[in-house]
Structure 1
Amino acid sequence: MITIETWDTGRFGIKGTSGPLENMIGGDYDEKIRIFCRSLLDIQDNVYLSFNPEMEVPVKNFPWQYQSPILYIDAFRHFSKVVKEICPMVKVIWGTAGYPGADEYYPGDDSVDGIHIILNSKSESQTNAYPRSSSMASVIKGKILRMRFMNKPLIIAGASPNKFSKSDSMSLDTAIKSIEENKYILYAGELLRNQSVNKTDHAVGKAPLIGVYDPKGLLINEHNISIEHLFIDWSNVEDGSLERQIDQINRRSHNALLTIEPWRGIKWKTDANVLNRMTLGKYDEAIGKIYKAVSKAKGTVYLRFAHEMEIPIHRYSWQSQDPVDYIKAYRYFMTFEKNILSSNIKRIWGPAGDRGSLEWWPGNDVVDYISFAVYGLPDKNITDPSAQESFEQIFNRKSYRMRLVDKPFFITEFGVKGSNKFQNKWLIEAAKKIKKHSSIYGISYFNFVDNPKVWGKVAAPNWAISKSSFLNFAEELSP
């Protein structure tokens, strides 16, 4: 196993620049690679070449970190191509740390022979971007699961000078045992898809369906609206309000988008172990009532269960949980009433679209659409409306993270804050971009203020828009 690192000591000698990757793509290292590969031709044993490892960890320990995934992928693919021209027998290894978001940097099956996961890497020790697990078994399990979309042999090793200890070996056995117990939902071929996919779900040139979350009822009667978005928790099941709301949606001849939030009730209280206890049947009565109410809908019902699960915070009780527990709970909910699950029910998997989202991918057979939020504010520290990102910027970043699965998008939450003039401009630009993405099946505007409790000292953003801005957006969205 030989690790190749492109440290450019000349023009691009400063850590964090993209120079070495650009130089690789430009062919600047080709002759050096060929000379090196010729020296390997007489070796009888297996030779593994790893290129610029730990690329996905968000630190600047190496000059190829904190770079565009596409830039890294292009550099890796070029390296692999040059190596194979001289040494077709050499195994080219993708040397990931196995950190959240590693899949964004996967170069593709045709340029990768194997994957090298690194434990206790220096890069990971330098970042706190994600909470660290106290259990090595959990760490190893997470790293392995992040590779489940790549059908390649896996090498697991400790970072030099640390050795793979006996304790690490025991942790590996524990991790593998846990994965084996759930392999029927984690690795079944029909539940995963390869990259290079086409997410088209409607005819090119046809406008996506338009929905709205509109608690004040300011927009729901507009003729452009075909979907009404409701957030449903246990209290809505207990007090019968879900059935009443579906009845109102039926009267308006609309379809229903239901985001199911499994918490906050009287009989079924907020539960930090909601995912585990769901699969044990604790919430069967509540789930049964949801499906009973859904069965009375006259139009299509889009079900989104336990959204934004991958964000490493505790806003919702189902966040910061074991991805396997989430997957099992999602599948349990979506397959609960097989006799009711007819063609008018569509299932939405709703991550936030953050790094590592695909760890929570529940399977091809229980997802009809992928959803993520597109809000103008990149984080809660930015309050200047003009500093907001465009729809295109956010959509491109989040949709790229879904490149290894093959489903159309339903943007179930999006919004922009600011003056009416600014909102109108942002939305018009968004509509122009949306029309170019045939992969976007539907889009639902969040016409309300966000929850103030989660924004701390910063005022919660008010995404509400005027009727004129909404109508201008809908008109621009028309084919």
Structure 2
Amino acid sequence: MGKRYTLYLSLFFLMGVVLYSKRHVFIKNRTESKDIIIKDSKQQALGIFYHGSDSSYVTMPAIAHYSLQWMNTDQDTVENNRLIDSLSHHETAVLSVETWAGYNERNQQINVLGDVISGAYDDKIKKLCDGLSGVQDKVLLSFNPDMEVPVKKYPWQYQSPVEYIKAFRHFSGLVKKLLPRIKIVWSPAGYPGADEYWPGDTFADLISVSLLGESERACNNYPLVNNTTTLIRRKIHRMRMIYKPIIVLGSEKIPSNAKNRAFFEIAAKTIGDDWHSIQPLKKEAAPQVSGLKNTDRGMLIGVYDPRKLLINEKAVSVEHLFADWGAIEDGTLERQIDSINSRGRAMIITVEPWRGKRWPTSRDVLKDMVKGMYDPIIETTYRIISRAKHPVFLRFAHEMEIPTMRYPWQSQDPVTYIKAYRYFMRFGAHLKNIRRVWGPAGDRGSLEWWPGDDVVDYTSIAIYGLPDKNITDPRLQESFSTIFKRKSYRMRLVDKPLFITEFGVKGSESFQNNWLKDAAFTIRKSNIIAGVCYFNQADNPKVWGKIPAPDWGISETTFENFVEALSN
């Protein structure tokens, strides 16, 4: 299984699980609370998986688990002697260090991550490391687990990923300085969006993910996966951007018994079999786009404008088209491309694999595509695209990560999507005018659907002022800068220029002008944005239920003000 397997096999007897304390409320009056040490054997590891070209896995023996819950910053309250004595009686043990929140004399909750970053826990960390110095080769050390699950079970949850990473790095950096041989475990639940909290290769040696732990069961943002094999595979897959061994933990709901260890082996083997079909063999730089009519600063400015209200604006260098199977079949796409050619512009073409006559809508479109069932319509698509006289930014099956059923390619297995995306894009490998665009909305967990460096030239996200269907008051819309900061951060593990292929704002003209002024300022400051494309249309009313669909249309004057603000 390769040299790397042999290297990690030497760590096998050091692998363990991270204990999650069973608090449902935060501890009050922290200054009067004693630190707590708990031994728990309920959660056990099913196995450990190694991502890579020689993907491999091993199952795990039972290991002792301890939780050290710090209720205050007073290092004298740590029961180090009892803890170290307990750890020394085991061949291998896992110690989860948890900084529990209390309340100050004004009954205000204390920011435990801020305390870690400021060094308030340093004396405790140093004293702990002093005690662990004799057993550091047999202890795995974890810090504040389940950080990414959007619930408030632990005081370090529902916090900024940047803040958590700073705290983790502070803790890990100090520990590694004092105990250079100890292994540090980063312990998310493996919930969608976990990668946002990844602290970096230098600060974590291993990863652990848990199966239906308490935090995850308390959260309803995403449907729970009931099939154990699928659940394990999805959680391992979410960690594929991070090349570290992954410990898969059981729980009270999914214990580490022979049955579930068999499920782990099936999931691990499936991932290994899929590796070469979903992973690029090498990185390829995005091509430089030239020959376009841009602003002075090189920014591509586009519009989706089916009402043709803005397409005559001089600043427009890109026009956006949405092409389903029907538009490809009946010649609509071909006519639209010819029209854009006459205006001398580039185009964004978002291919939507549904709503055809010969090729009707199917929930199995992604699976069937890889089987070759859609080859004729894909070939027709590329034949039509080849008529474009300027660069084509080709986006396929967008917003795939949103857990809804608006499109048939949503709420699908990410591996299935990746295979279909790669299959579709390879049909146009010979066309020099195509720029391949991977187009998530930029929501939590987007990188599960990342198809690989070799088939992506640009990443795109969507930024709309009214993403929440419960919001009807335009004044409650988030600013462009707030949304951009959140969504662009989620793309930080992929090194591609960003094309905001859809953005829009609803409201009065004065409100739209102010929102777009903020957008222009944010775009100007960014060094990763290659282009922006305004969605000058109302959304589909069918997906908004009883609430009127938002209309993001703007006037020529508002658009011109935005362009001017971009150019300043």
Letter in 1 for 2:152: K
Partner in structure 2 of residue 110 of structure 1: 202
Given that residues 341 and 390 in structure 2 are in contact (C-alpha distance below 8 angstroms), is that contact kept between their aligned partners in structure 1?
yes
Does the alignment pair 1:470 with 2:559?
Answer: yes
Partner in structure 1 of residue 476 of structure 2: 387
Given that residues 279 and 451 in structure 2 are in contact (C-alpha distance below 8 angstroms), is that contact kept between their aligned partners in structure 1?
no
Partner in structure 2 of residue 165 of structure 1: 257
Give secondary structure in 2 for the equivalent of 1:212: strand
Kindly state the Cα deviation for residue 320 of structure 1 after the two structures are TM-superposed: 0.3
Kindly state the Cα deviation for residue 167 of structure 1 after the two structures are TM-superposed: 1.9
Give secondary structure in 2 for the equivalent of 1:450: coil
Whole-angstrom CA distance in 2 between matches of 1:8 and 1:215: 53
Change over 3 Å in CA distance of 1:38–1:159 after alignment to 2? farther
More moved, 93-102 vs 330-339? 330-339
Change over 3 Å in CA distance of 1:191–1:155 after alignment to 2? farther
Partner in structure 2 of residue 312 of structure 1: 403
How many residues in Structure 1 have an aligned counterpart in Structure 2? 472
Kindly state the Cα deviation for residue 207 of structure 1 after the two structures are TM-superposed: 4.1
Partner in structure 2 of residue 84 of structure 1: 176
Q: 1:321 aligns with which of 404, 408, 412?
A: 412
Kindly state the Cα deviation for residue 8 of structure 1 after the two structures are TM-superposed: 3.4
Whole-angstrom CA distance in 2 between matches of 1:104 and 1:210: 29
Partner in structure 2 of residue 295 of structure 1: 386
Deviations, residues 78-128 of structure 1 (Å, cap 9, x unaligned): 000111121111101101111100000001111111111112211111111
Q: TM-score, normalised by structure 1?
A: 0.94
Change over 3 Å in CA distance of 1:135–1:163 after alignment to 2? closer
Note the residue ranges of structure 2 that are not aligned, 5 or more in a row.
Answer: 1-93
Given that residues 280 and 453 in structure 2 are in contact (C-alpha distance below 8 angstroms), is that contact kept between their aligned partners in structure 1?
no
Partner in structure 2 of residue 231 of structure 1: 322
Kindly state the Cα deviation for residue 171 of structure 1 after the two structures are TM-superposed: 1.1
Change over 3 Å in CA distance of 1:338–1:307 after alignment to 2? same
Give secondary structure in 2 for the equivalent of 1:190: coil
Partner in structure 1 of residue 167 of structure 2: 75
Whole-angstrom CA distance in 2 between matches of 1:26 and 1:89: 25
Q: 2:530 aligns with which of 435, 438, 441?
A: 441
Partner in structure 1 of residue 25 of structure 2: none
Change over 3 Å in CA distance of 1:44–1:458 after alignment to 2? closer
Change over 3 Å in CA distance of 1:248–1:406 after alignment to 2? same
Given that residues 136 and 179 in structure 2 are in contact (C-alpha distance below 8 angstroms), is that contact kept between their aligned partners in structure 1?
no
Taking the TM superposition and a 5 Å limit, the aligned residue runs for 1:362-381 are 362-381=451-470
Identity %: 55
Whole-angstrom CA distance in 2 between matches of 1:464 and 1:404: 33
Give secondary structure in 1 for the equivalent of 2:199: coil
Partner in structure 2 of residue 272 of structure 1: 363
Partner in structure 1 of residue 148 of structure 2: 56
Instruction: Between the two structures, name the one with larger relative contact order (CA 8 Å, sep ≥ 6).
Output: 1
Given that residues 137 and 175 in structure 1 are in contact (C-alpha distance below 8 angstroms), is that contact kept between their aligned partners in structure 2?
yes
Change over 3 Å in CA distance of 1:243–1:44 after alignment to 2? closer
Partner in structure 1 of residue 26 of structure 2: none
Note the residue ranges of structure 1 that are not aligned, 5 or more in a row.
Answer: none
Whole-angstrom CA distance in 2 between matches of 1:192 and 1:100: 27
Letter in 2 for 1:412: T
Give secondary structure in 2 for the equivalent of 1:111: coil
Partner in structure 2 of residue 124 of structure 1: 216
Kindly state the Cα deviation for residue 346 of structure 1 after the two structures are TM-superposed: 0.2
Whole-angstrom CA distance in 1 between matches of 2:530 and 2:543: 30
Change over 3 Å in CA distance of 1:222–1:45 after alignment to 2? closer
Partner in structure 2 of residue 411 of structure 1: 500
Kindly state the Cα deviation for residue 186 of structure 1 after the two structures are TM-superposed: 3.8
Change over 3 Å in CA distance of 1:4–1:346 after alignment to 2? same
Whole-angstrom CA distance in 1 between matches of 2:147 and 2:542: 36
Whole-angstrom CA distance in 2 between matches of 1:78 and 1:217: 54
Does the alignment pair 1:286 with 2:377?
Answer: yes
Does the alignment pair 1:458 with 2:547?
Answer: yes
Kindly state the Cα deviation for residue 290 of structure 1 after the two structures are TM-superposed: 0.8
Deviations, residues 22-43 of structure 1 (Å, cap 9, x unaligned): 1111111111111111111112
Kindly state the Cα deviation for residue 153 of structure 1 after the two structures are TM-superposed: 1.5
Given that residues 101 and 110 in structure 2 are in contact (C-alpha distance below 8 angstroms), is that contact kept between their aligned partners in structure 1?
no
Structure number with greater Rg is 2
Kindly state the Cα deviation for residue 9 of structure 1 after the two structures are TM-superposed: 3.4
Partner in structure 1 of residue 235 of structure 2: 143
Deviations, residues 152-178 of structure 1 (Å, cap 9, x unaligned): 122112136963122211111111121
Does the alignment pair 1:212 with 2:303?
Answer: yes
Q: 1:190 aligns with which of 282, 286, 289?
A: 282
Deviations, residues 166-195 of structure 1 (Å, cap 9, x unaligned): 2211111111121111101444563699xx
Does the alignment pair 1:6 with 2:99?
Answer: yes
Whole-angstrom CA distance in 2 between matches of 1:162 and 1:338: 45
Partner in structure 1 of residue 187 of structure 2: 95
Change over 3 Å in CA distance of 1:450–1:12 after alignment to 2? farther
Kindly state the Cα deviation for residue 379 of structure 1 after the two structures are TM-superposed: 0.7
Whole-angstrom CA distance in 2 between matches of 1:189 and 1:63: 41
Whole-angstrom CA distance in 1 between matches of 2:241 and 2:516: 35
Given that residues 34 and 86 in structure 1 are in contact (C-alpha distance below 8 angstroms), is that contact kept between their aligned partners in structure 2?
yes
Give secondary structure in 2 for the equivalent of 1:140: helix
